[in-house]
Amino acid sequence: MNLSSFLINLILAVDLNNVSSSDLNKVGQVIDIGGKAANTVGTAGKSLTELFNTWPVLIGGLALVVVAVILWVFFKRIIENIVIGLALLVVIYFAFPDIWLHLAKIIVPTIVVTLLFGIGGVGTLLILVWFGAI
């Protein structure tokens, strides 16, 4: 039993002498809305079936998968580099406190360089400390 037939049976079960015409109009509007919703769902389903077995959909899906894999590999390397750089800063802090004192003078640039360039940035900072630039 669908919504329309349920509402029609409900209307027939009600004593029509006690129902005003505005109430009946409201029920008619509900039935009309239900019919429009069913029509919309049917149209959407028909549109979806038209997308199956089309080359642009397949090509678009494959392109999105390739882009996702490339981005994953790229960001994975960046995150690994940042984590290694931060771990190296922790090692310098505990193992080489005299070098850390030089880097602590410019702590914000040190952290920014580490986040941007990872272990290469920390290496550059250590070379600058060795040359006495920091």
Domain ranges of the chain: 3-51, 55-131
Residue 128 has pLDDT above 80, yes or no: yes
Dihedral Cα 70, 75, 77, 79, nearest 10 deg: -170
Residue type for 77, please?
R
Among 77, 72, 103, 105, CA closest to 88: 103
Residue 35 pLDDT: 57
Residue 17 pLDDT: 55
Residue 22 has pLDDT above 70, yes or no: no
Residues making up the chain, counted from first to last: 134
Least confident of 36-40, 58-62, 64-68, 118-122: 36-40
